Structure 1
Amino acid sequence: MNAIRYYSCAVLALCFQLSCSLAPHELTFLIISQNFSFSAKLANELKNNILHQLRIEAFLNNNEIDLVQQPKIILSHETFNSIGSWAITPILASSIEYIDNIILSSRNLNAAATEATASARKANALPVNVTATAPPPEASQTKWLILCEDQSIVDLKALINNLQNEDYTKKKFLGYGLRDAEATIIHHFAFFENPSWFLYPLFRAGVAISIPLLKILAERVRSEKNVSDFFIDASHELSLFAWNKGKGHQLTEAPYFCLDRKSSKTSRSSTLVRQGNDGEGNGCAIYSRSHDDSITQSHLYSPDTATGTTKSSFTPVDVTINQIFFAIKTWSKNHEDRVPVIQRTWAKEVKHIRYYSDVADPNIPTISTNIENTEHGHCAKTLVILQRVWEEIIANKQLKPIKYVVLSDDDTLFGVSTLLGYLKRFNANADVYLGERYGYQLLSRNGFNYITGGGGIVFSLSVIEKLVQNCRCPSSSSPDDMIIALCLQRIGIEPIHSSRFHQARPIDYPEEVLLYNKPISFHKFWQIDPYYVYEHWLRQSDTNVVEANKYKVGHGNEYYCSKNQNELCHRNIYDGNN
């Protein structure tokens, strides 16, 4: 009897082990990417690297792998026609047949696999240990949807080893948890009294959604009509939707989704812990690339996991400060309080800057638009500004080097050196329309994306010319940033998103995200010291200002302000009144 019990327990244990095992083809990766060259290259390199890891693992174990045994890897910019694919819920709003085909279905039929194998071998692109033999259909169903970004790094072995310990039959929502320190406008002031309890994922660190939960979310998106018109932060909005006012499922922190390669977050607290790779594939499974803009840094290269070498994927294009024209929107009421902040801080780092206002003020000086200020929208004023900018660039020979125009508000702060470094990845001769992307009515046929104006909008000259020629305002108070987007959409120009531009203040974002994603801009002077924001987050990259003002801590008689000192202290520093 004891022997029977022993063998029965052994069989049950084996069955449990087999049921908990996870194969690569049971994962579907959705890489959130954009249709411009730098993002597309990074996304394709990530896809190829994941597949390369699988081939290396098979080679080391002397195994053959089938095409149908590979994970399905979807690049959002290639697969989805929806302009709202970055927001995730518009993808889920697709028909159930579409979801089944793209995400949930078996990898490939035998015929398709055979055809793909033949084509790949003909192109010498398929290793000899990859075959086209299909596994049983029931073995190739997706168990997990993995969300990540083009800037993510994936350790496939670590991901599988960690996820096989999770129950994929349950409704699971796993990731690296972020929290709001205080209620913020970008999250519609959610949980105003205590926002810090609510978790939402950092997409770049990876998200795992079990298929039972995914199906429920997809059904709800298609049946419910109360989804917000505005899409701002996809990760927070997805978490709110999954939470479903307490009736759904909240994000669970998983320590194998990491901020960087060695930092993990425990599920019991928000403190970071160091987590090394143990050699068994149990360390950080997905983490973020470095934010360093140096062209020699690894985030611009494709790592080869077999040899440890790198190959260049990107040819930088140098951008100088002489090639950027800054156009600042202001009005007479702000001439004495907002404009001086800009002049004392980042404006010292630029060569071509103009201030456009409702009146001409020689003390700044400002250029009059002859447009009365409106309380909202500013569409007419903004289009006049772009017209004046274009005319001056064409007429003024000293502006011949200009490649980009940056349009911003009079309460926007920039890290100029960081902006210059970031622009190296773009082709200034192409249509560049860049900044922080928002979405409007993305679940409808009339939805669109736009670059929100507060964080600054970067245009290449070709886009400025097309706007001047093709864009008109429905009314003077129409929202300028949204009308610009609609005008450009009509002529086939879509916005390029960068999370380094910020529509709000630093306190409106999790600090750890800002630390790992070097900011280019912040917006709003409300309830903050703008001088401290510039010094702490932006000015450190502007070496000329650092040298000129000697803003250092504790060296001899050099004067400095602490975080707790008031704005007057910082203003005196920038005026040289120390």
Structure 2
Amino acid sequence: LKGIVFVIQSQSNSFHSKRAEDLKRDILKQAVELGKELPTVLLIHQIDRHEGAWTILPLMTDFSVTYGRNSSWIFFCEEDTRIQVIKLVETLRRFDKSKEWFLGKALYDEESTIIHHYAFAENPTVFKFPDFAAGWALSIPLVNKLAKKLKSEPLKSDFTIDLKHEIALYIWQKGEGPHLTPVPEFCTDDVNSYKADHCATTFSNFLPLCGEPVRKEDIFVAVKTCRKFHGDRIPVVKQTWEREAALIEYYSDYADISIPTIDLGIPNTDRGHCGKTFAILERFLNHSSSRTPWLVVVDDDTLISIFRLRKLLSCYDPNEPVFLGERYGYGLGTGGYSYITGGGGMVFSRTAVQKLLASKCRCYSMDAPDDMVLGMCFSGLGIPITHSPLFHQARPMDYPKDYLSHQIPVSFHKHWNIDPVKVYFTWLAPNTEESHNGKKVGYNREDL
């Protein structure tokens, strides 16, 4: 056991750091009960020399220096991964620790997808990448090799979009490095599932709920739209999730009383929308009638469950500066910053909006990408971004089925080549069982 270094992919937000600390305690408690020497357990958000620590690869050099001689494995997992330490030790024993191993539960794309830049377009199923929820492991010889490579070829300043896929690509090195080896004991079944008997890891796949869901009236929803989409996208919002929101406004470049939309006096831009988003933030702070604690900014082609969001937000404190959604990164190998990608929905606590607008950070142009500018601003203010994998920048078909199977999603994005109303009712609509007990339920998702 002392040959395994545990790395929890944790976050600094108080709700998340507490969950990670609980997991760390559980791992150490199991080690004591087994009468073993205590292993090293690291929390990624505490390795804070580095805004990009969550992207893992920049840490390889440190891992190699610190653990390269006296450890055998680095085992990564999420805060909601549950580990049976004895089974994990037995599982890793099967692999020769002097060789380069990349172990995990394998995911693959069923069709090529924009979030992976359409990689392996001829046959996307050939390339396997790890489901972080099940835990994944690198043998120390592989860590040492990656550290050496990073020295000679530093990471490019680039986007981080789907980290698990990008790490697998980097390790594979176009065939020079190892493929992911699937390990059946790394599981994402729920801990109480009959399927989990053979598993060394399981995953608690419920929507977090901390007390009562946030009240409908405590969430202000801002929908970004423009005149050309009033006719096709807005009717979808009205047929699907609008009824779940108590406070909702549509912001456009044209005031249309039939919707109604509000013209913020900002001309539409083909891309970016930074000016519009900052105008929405100002309006939320200065005009929204009450002191609503939460603001959600979505696109007119975002599909979202406000019902589930209310449960999720019960775990966050609106008196903290919270900026929540699906996290992407830009240039994190070389400084850079993280940001919440706009299409999946951006959630702000009122405190976060106050701190942002009190700073001097603003759009460098009206059509700058709003989500990236916000990321840059919050990074400069030292306000961390909080990632939730339940928000999605793309459509359900853009993600592996196995990955979505242990999620209760909060949002998807884009109407391209799908029936958005059907996607909403299949994936996001509150169903009767869920609204009663909040448990995970079986969806009929196969036909999407």
Task: State how far apart, in whole Å, the 1-side matches of 2:314 and 2:435 are.
Answer: 22
In structure 1, the residue corresponding to 2:30 is in which secondary structure?
Answer: helix
1:445-471 CA-to-partner distances (Å, cap 9, x unmatched) read 3x1000111100000111122233333
Task: Find 2:42's aligned residue among 68, 74, 82.
Answer: 74
1:100, distance to aligned residue in structure 2 (A): 4.0
Matching residue of 2:349:
460
1:247, distance to aligned residue in structure 2 (A): 1.6
Identity %: 41
1:306-348 CA-to-partner distances (Å, cap 9, x unmatched) read xxxxxxxxxx464111100000100000000001100111001
Task: Find 1:181's aligned residue among 101, 110, 113.
Answer: 110
Matching residue of 1:131:
none
In structure 2, the residue corresponding to 1:539 is in which secondary structure?
Answer: coil
1:103, distance to aligned residue in structure 2 (A): 3.3
Alpha carbons 2:196, 2:202 under 8 Å: kept: no
Matching residue of 2:68:
104
1:99, distance to aligned residue in structure 2 (A): 2.8
Task: State how far apart, in whole Å, the 2-side matches of 1:236 and 1:441 are.
Answer: 17
1:293 equivalenced with 2:208 (yes/no)? yes
In structure 2, the residue corresponding to 1:407 is in which secondary structure?
Answer: strand
Task: Report 1:231-246 matches (<5 A).
Answer: 231-246=160-175
1:243-276 CA-to-partner distances (Å, cap 9, x unmatched) read 1111211101011101125799xxxxxxxxx755
Matching residue of 2:285:
390
1:249 equivalenced with 2:178 (yes/no)? yes
Question: What is the one-letter code of the residue matched to 1:449?
Answer: S
In structure 1, the residue corresponding to 2:34 is in which secondary structure?
Answer: helix
Task: Report 1:121-132 matches (<5 A).
Answer: none
Alpha carbons 1:358, 1:369 under 8 Å: kept: yes
Task: Report 1:455-494 matches (<5 A).
Answer: 455-470=344-359, 471-494=361-384
1:206, distance to aligned residue in structure 2 (A): 1.0
Task: Report 1:73-92 matches (<5 A).
Answer: 73-92=41-60
In structure 2, the residue corresponding to 1:25 is in which secondary structure?
Answer: coil
Task: State how far apart, in whole Å, the 1-side matches of 2:55 and 2:155 are.
Answer: 16
Task: State how far apart, in whole Å, the 1-side matches of 2:195 and 2:390 are.
Answer: 27
1:35 equivalenced with 2:3 (yes/no)? no
Task: State how far apart, in whole Å, the 2-side matches of 1:340 and 1:261 are.
Answer: 37
Task: Find 2:420's aligned residue among 503, 517, 530.
Answer: 530
1:185, distance to aligned residue in structure 2 (A): 1.1
Task: State how far apart, in whole Å, the 2-side matches of 1:478 and 1:229 are.
Answer: 17
Task: State how far apart, in whole Å, the 1-side matches of 2:433 and 2:415 are.
Answer: 23
TM-score, L = length of structure 1: 0.73
Task: State how far apart, in whole Å, the 2-side matches of 1:208 and 1:443 are.
Answer: 21
Task: State how far apart, in whole Å, the 2-side matches of 1:46 and 1:142 are.
Answer: 21
1:491-525 CA-to-partner distances (Å, cap 9, x unmatched) read 22121000000011101111222221110000101
1:540, distance to aligned residue in structure 2 (A): 3.2
Task: State how far apart, in whole Å, the 2-side matches of 1:100 and 1:503 are.
Answer: 34
1:160 equivalenced with 2:89 (yes/no)? yes
Distance 1:225 1:163, change over 3 A: closer
Matching residue of 1:47:
24
Question: What is the one-letter code of the residue matched to 1:211?
Answer: I
Alpha carbons 1:32, 1:148 under 8 Å: kept: yes
Alpha carbons 2:223, 2:297 under 8 Å: kept: yes
Alpha carbons 2:63, 2:143 under 8 Å: kept: no
Matching residue of 1:352:
247
In structure 1, the residue corresponding to 2:329 is in which secondary structure?
Answer: strand
Task: State how far apart, in whole Å, the 2-side matches of 1:385 and 1:57 are.
Answer: 55
Task: Find 1:374's aligned residue among 266, 269, 281.
Answer: 269
1:84, distance to aligned residue in structure 2 (A): 1.1
Task: State how far apart, in whole Å, the 1-side matches of 2:312 and 2:115 are.
Answer: 24
1:515-549 CA-to-partner distances (Å, cap 9, x unmatched) read 21110000101111101110010003488999xxx
Task: State how far apart, in whole Å, the 2-side matches of 1:515 and 1:244 are.
Answer: 29
1:405-433 CA-to-partner distances (Å, cap 9, x unmatched) read 00010000111211111111101111111
Q: How many pairs align?
A: 439
Flag structure 1 segments of 5+ consecutive residues without an equivalent.
1-23, 59-64, 106-140, 265-273, 278-282, 296-315, 547-552, 554-561, 565-578
1:293, distance to aligned residue in structure 2 (A): 3.3
Question: What is the one-letter code of the residue matched to 2:378?
Answer: L
Q: Which runs of 4+ in 1 moved over 4 A?
A: 261-264, 541-546
Task: State how far apart, in whole Å, the 1-side matches of 2:159 and 2:272 are.
Answer: 16
1:440 equivalenced with 2:330 (yes/no)? yes
Structure number with the bigger relative contact order (C-alpha 8 A, sep ≥ 6) is: 2
1:227, distance to aligned residue in structure 2 (A): 3.5
Distance 1:391 1:543, change over 3 A: farther
In structure 2, the residue corresponding to 1:355 is in which secondary structure?
Answer: strand
Alpha carbons 1:415, 1:542 under 8 Å: kept: no
CA RMSD between the two structures = 2.2
Distance 1:28 1:498, change over 3 A: same
1:224, distance to aligned residue in structure 2 (A): 1.8
Flag structure 2 segments of 5+ consecutive residues without an equivalent.
437-442
Task: Find 1:508's aligned residue among 386, 398, 413.
Answer: 398
Question: What is the one-letter code of the residue matched to 2:46?
Answer: E
1:339 equivalenced with 2:234 (yes/no)? yes
Task: State how far apart, in whole Å, the 1-side matches of 2:28 and 2:76 are.
Answer: 16
